[in-house]
Amino acid sequence: MEVEVNKLELMFLKADSDLDYFRYRLEYEIKTNHPDTASKKNPVTLLKELSAIKSGYQTLYSCFKPTAVEQEEIKNHICATVDKTMTVIQELQK
């Protein structure tokens, strides 16, 4: 379960990084290929929408993080319970 949580966390971080790259690349393409239209509203609107999407990813990630912490706490509690149970079983076997 912990491996899956780590994979999901890495996916969110990669998505965040990819969105930054796409925004940078889009700005660069607009400036180099269409310098006369770089000041018009359409590309700017697209960049704002991309920023809104990135914000949504960050919100989703922040909602996901407490769940990962709780899963870790539950796993630790289960491991501690299993250890105590094994100790009791070993004592009973003696």
Looking at the predicted structure, is the pLDDT value of residue 88 above 90?
yes
14-18, 35-39, 74-78: range with lowest mean pLDDT: 35-39
CB atoms within 10 A of CB 30: 19
The model's pTM is 0.42
Per residue in 20-75, pLDDT (tens digit) is 888 888 878 777 776 665 455 566 677 777 778 888 888 888 888 888 888 888 88
Residue 34 amino acid letter: H
φ and ψ of 16, to 5 deg: -60, -45
